Amino acid sequence: MKKSEKREANTSGHLPVAASWRRRTMLIFLYKFFWRAILGVVIGLRYLGVKKEQHDGPVIYIANHNSHLDAIAMMTVVPRHRLHLTHSVAAQDFFGNSFFRKWSMENLVNAVLISRKRGDQEVDPIEFLDGLLQAGRSLILFPEGTRGVPGSMGDFKRGVGHLASRHPGIPVIPIYLDGLYRNLPKGRAMIVPFGGNLIMGDPLVFSNEDLNEITARTQEAIEKMAQDLSDSNQI
Amino acid sequence: MNKLISAWGMNAEIQWVIFIIFCILVTSSIAWFILVRVKPSKLATELQVRTRSWWVMCACFIVTTLVHPVVTLLGLMYLSYALLREMYPLLNLDARERNVVLVCYAAVPIQYGLAYFGMKTLFLAFIPVFMFVFIPFMLVVRGETKGIVRSISLMPYSLIAWVYGMSHLALLFQLPELQGFTAGPQGLLLYLIFLVGMNDVLQFAWGKTLGKRPVLPTVSPNKTWEGLIGGVLSITLIAVAMRFLTPLNIWQAAITGFVTAVAGFMGDAIASGIKRDIGIKNSGHAIPGHGGYLDRLDGFSAAAAPFFHLIYLFCYH
């Protein structure tokens, strides 16, 4: 497993190399203790429906996206032994333009940066993410592609559809993030605690649906979770 | 075993109240367990979930009360903070009011710090006098006046409702020792927790069994006259029965129980009104079966200050 990962990494030249034990320990400390405590105790994020037993292997986590805290909150629900194998997918044009941002994204968030525009890179972003899944890595994707309007969800881009249709065995886990955008809105640097909810849905497994159908179903799943949450709290 | 208990600073009164709480929880757990088996219904399942949450809440309250006064203070402080944190997202504050929210959060440790150091006059004045000027000023300073009247009323009010009242419980630890009264501030705190908790439970129980006439039909249809009167009378009796935790005599205990129950009902009704205006049922998901912190502690924080002042009036004045 490890050997094949390394070989894969060397041939394409783009895959992040396997994490050292130091990095693994750091990621576990960072997400399973530090951020978990900050999110749980200070910010007051509630974890609903998070399963201890998750698919042991590559998984695609998808969520709605409104805040920089989103990727951090998603990392805290990834099983401990998969943490260093889980990459959030971030935008090259936003995070790649300063050294500090790029370094912290790649080292502290364990993210991979891709271009949002087609034809920018020599490797197609989808091919690149495809390679990561093949190498046994999990992905954290925000299919809206941008943080968008606070508190509302935009239409999903088709990247998830592409990836899930190429890898029929890999489960897609939908996560609905409610209220995190209040804690750290777009364009703000300071976190002000306002609470929020993280709801993990049942994994979606696709066999041979086409990519439009997959995209529609993933969006539906997250919209349904949002609807259920607000319905459950109606008078 | 006795040595261990005395090393923990647990006296006979506190052992008794823990025993009583334990018995109530065990009885209700068994009762709902049987009810779910014999006659399954949505209510039965909900009662089971709620009782499970009561177990956790009682454990947290008892442990934080008994470990050390500083732990109790930090626990109460966290509850105040959690209440504020749960209230603010409901108010639809704009981006610039975020910074003022930080000022409100900062008032929590200051208020509890004043309680810890026993600065009683400043403790009583800090929020209603100083913060009531400072927060509106901070709202004005940001230069946006649209909708400012709403924020000026809401944000200081949130401090009064969730911080000022609760912090009086931290002040219980500053009361001088009385001769012949051994339960101490821990006993008083458990007494109040017991009364307010039982108040919620009994008003619910009386309302469910006998309730017909709603007391506030437009605010909270589930609250009935039968539930209110039954709850207040039972709490008055329970307060008399449990007065071994306090330095009060029979009549003083009855008055304290009555006032606590009525104040708890008032806090509950105010929170219901706020939630109804916003259009939500529960303020959060922190406690399974109960909703958020705000749903559970609304009565508690409203009853805290009247309780403190009654104790002070009866025993220390």
- Which among A179, A195, A235 has the least Cβ separation from residue B276? A235
Structure token digits, residue B251: 């009549």
Query: What percentage of chain B carries pLDDT values higher than 70?
Result: 97
- Residue A14: the pLDDT is 58
Using one digit for the tens of pLDDT, what is the confidence trace for A187-228?
A: 888 889 999 999 999 998 888 778 888 888 889 999 999 998
**Interatomic CA distance for residues A206 and A230, integer angstroms:** 28
The pTM assigned to this predicted structure is 0.90
Are A204 and A221 contacting, i.e. CB atoms less than 8 angstroms apart? yes
DSSP state of B171: H
User: Is the pLDDT confidence value at B103 over 80?
Assistant: yes
Q: What does the pLDDT read at residue A3?
A: 41
Give the model's pLDDT for residue B90: 87
Q: Which residues of B touch A46 (CB under 8 A)?
A: 284-286
Residue B103, in any domain of the structure? yes
Task: Give dist(CA B28, CA B48) in Å, integer.
Answer: 8
State residue A11's pLDDT score.
38
Query: How does pLDDT run across B6-16, given as a tens digit for each residue?
Result: 545 568 888 88
Q: How many domains does chain B have?
A: 1
The pLDDT assigned to B97 comes to: 84
Give tens-digit pLDDT for B250-297.
999 999 999 999 999 999 999 999 988 888 888 888 888 888 898 889
Asked if B237 contacts B260 with a C-beta cutoff of 8 angstroms, the reply is no
**Mean of pLDDT values over A85-92:** 88
- Answer whether residue A16 shows pLDDT above 50: yes
Q: What is the pLDDT of residue A10?
A: 36
**Structure token pair of residue B287:** 């406690």
Helix/strand/coil for A87: strand
Which of A142-151, B87-96, B170-179, B196-205 holds the top average pLDDT?
B196-205
3-state helix, strand, coil in chain B (%, to 5): 80, 0, 20
Round to whole Å and give the CA distance between B132 and B155.
Answer: 9
Residue B157 in domain: yes
Name, in order, each residue with C-beta under 8 angstroms of A3's C-beta and a sequence gap of 6 or more: none
The stretch B296-308 carries a mean pLDDT of 93
The contacts found for B176-184 with CB under 8 angstroms, 24 or more apart, are B176/B316, B178/B247, B178/B315, B178/B316, B180/B247, B181/B246, B181/B247, B181/B315, B182/B11, B182/B12, B182/B13, B183/B11, B183/B13, B183/B14, B183/B244, B183/B245, B183/B246, B184/B11
Strand residue runs (E) in B72-218: none
Q: What is the mean pLDDT of residues B70-91?
A: 93
| Calpha distance A144→A121 (Å, rounded) | 21
Query: Cβ–Cβ of A44/B86 closer than 8 Å?
Result: yes
CA distance B279 to chain A (A): 6
The pLDDT > 90 percentage for chain B reads 61
Check CB contact under 8 Å for A44 and B281.
Answer: no
pLDDT tens figures, A25-71:
999 999 999 999 999 999 999 998 888 777 788 999 999 998 889 99
Q: What pLDDT score does A117 carry?
A: 72
Range of the domain at B99: 80-171
Model pLDDT, residue B137: 93
The residue among B1 and A34 whose pLDDT is bigger is A34
In three-state secondary structure terms, A52 is: coil
The reply to whether B136 falls in a domain is: yes
Q: pLDDT at position A209, please?
A: 79
For residue B159, tell me if it sits in a domain: yes
Domain range summary for chain A, segments of one domain joined by +: 2-231
Report the C-alpha gap between B314 and A131 in whole angstroms. Answer: 75
For B89, the closest of A46, A182, A235 (CB atoms) is A182
Tell me, yes or no, whether B181 lies in a domain: no
Is the distance from CB of A89 to CB of A139 less than 8 angstroms? Answer: yes
**Overall residue count recorded for chain A in this entry:** 235
Mean pLDDT for chain A?
84
- Sorted by sequence, the CB contacts under 8 Å of residue B183 that are 6+ apart come out as B11, B13, B14, B191, B244, B245, B246
pLDDT band at A4 (very low <50, low <70, confident <90, very high): very low
Per the structure block, which two tokens stand in for B14? 């506190």
Do the chains contact at B85 and A193, CB–CB below 8 Å?
yes
Residue-level pLDDT at B163: 95
Residue of higher predicted confidence among B72 and A235: B72
pLDDT of residue A15: 63
| pLDDT at residue A12 greater than cutoff 90 | no
Structure confidence by residue, pLDDT tens digits, B155-184 = 999 999 999 999 999 999 988 888 878 888
CATH architecture of the domain covering A2-231: 3-Layer(aba) Sandwich (3.40)
Selected residue of A50, A181, A194, A198 to mutate for chain B interface (largest B Cβ count, 10 A): A194
Q: Where are the beta strands (DSSP E) in chain A?
A: 45-48, 60-63, 86-91, 112-114, 138-141, 172-178, 196-200
Domain membership flag for residue B156: yes
Contact by Cβ (8 Å): A130, A112: no
In the structure encoding, which two tokens stand for residue A135, read together? 């190498």
Please give the structure tokens belonging to residue B252. 């003083």
Token pair of B144 as six digits: 């946006």
The Cα-based distances of B205 to A220, B129, B296, B297 in angstroms read: 41, 40, 16, 18
Q: For chain B, give the mean pLDDT.
A: 90
